Amino acid sequence: MPSCHDMVLLRLILTFALGLLAGSAVACSGEADCAVAGGFYRVFVPTGLKEGERRPAILYFHGYRESAADILARDDIRAIAARERAILVVPQGEGKTWSHPGSPARLRDEFAFSEAVMRDALGRFPIDPKRVLVAGFSQGAAMVWNLRCHQSERFAAFLAIAGTFWLPQPDRCDGPLRPLMQIHGLSDRTVPLAGRAIRGGAFHQGDVFRAVGMLREAGQCRAAGIRAIPEGALTCERMADCGPGGEVAFCLHTGGHDFDPDWLGLGLRFLKHPVGNSAPAQ
């Protein structure tokens, strides 16, 4: 049987170890993983935030074969977050891919994982839960569409860049209406606007026009409310005559399968002013 001295020493060791674990959990950052059930994410928090201040956040889903570290290593992406004073939360795709509906991957439950990431991030960082923009590029944009369709109540707005659902595409989305902006290249051959079959037809990327049309119908948007608004290299078709939260912006450019970090800033401004207002997110 251990002596009293041994028991005291053991308790001290356990206390020290638990303190280290707690400290490492709090210290996760752009260069350290934030572990949650099912995986991890990384985060960038701009400097100079006021104590007690809650800021908007971007929950960003990277593209196929990218990683959270790749995204946060980019000075231009961090600069956009710093300029907008927004916290950037970047989940890591298992196997550098996403197991969304229709995906070839079946590595985890992405809805449960996304929920775990946001629950953890909201507990660690000064994020305003009412100002979270879900954004993603390429296959990450498929995650954006699926979260808009299945977990819209958890987020404020959505930004899908060069991607949409994979088949089977749902006929309708559940949950409350939330604004969505779609950005796509007219010459995109990796994820064409009309979709395409991959891996010998075993899997199929969806039709962007159909997805946007589904949301506009759900938002009771009227064709008479369409406005074409230039946004740099983009031409954005915005429908102002929609039900509350049902705004859908469809932005096109002449390029291919492209991503511009400035579009994250555009998405944040759309979060605050979904229809035709480019004031910064404060």
163: which residues sit within 8 A by CB, 6+ positions away?
A: 136, 137, 138, 139, 140, 141, 142, 144, 145, 191, 205
Q: Are 261 and 233 in contact (CB under 8 A)?
A: no
End-to-end CA distance of the chain: 62
- Residue 239 pLDDT: 79
- Give residue limits of the domains in the chain: 1-32, 33-272
Phi, psi dihedrals of residue 135, rounded to the nearest 5° = -130, 155
Assess whether pLDDT exceeds 80 at residue 29. Answer: no
Q: Are 159 and 263 in contact (CB under 8 A)?
A: yes
Rounded-to-integer distance, Cα 7 and Cα 265, Å: 56
What are the start-end ranges of the E strands in the chain?
Answer: 34-36, 39-44, 55-61, 87-91, 127-137, 157-161, 180-185, 197-198, 203-204, 226-231, 234-239, 248-253
At 212-270, the pLDDT tens digits run 999 999 999 887 778 888 999 999 998 768 888 999 999 999 999 999 999 999 999 99
Confidence of residue 25 (pLDDT cuts 50, 70, 90): very low
At 99-139, the pLDDT tens digits run 999 999 999 999 999 999 999 999 999 999 999 999 999 99
- Residue 276 pLDDT: 38
Measuring CA to CA, which residue among 231, 257, 245, 58 is closest to residue 159? 58
**CATH code reported for the domain at 33-272:** 3.40.50.1820
DSSP 167: S
Rounded-to-integer distance, Cα 103 and Cα 97, Å: 9
Assess whether pLDDT exceeds 60 at residue 273. Answer: yes
**11 by DSSP, 3-state: which?**
helix
Rounded-to-integer distance, Cα 219 and Cα 242, Å: 6
Assess whether pLDDT exceeds 70 at residue 1. Answer: no
**Over residues 54-72, mean pLDDT:** 98
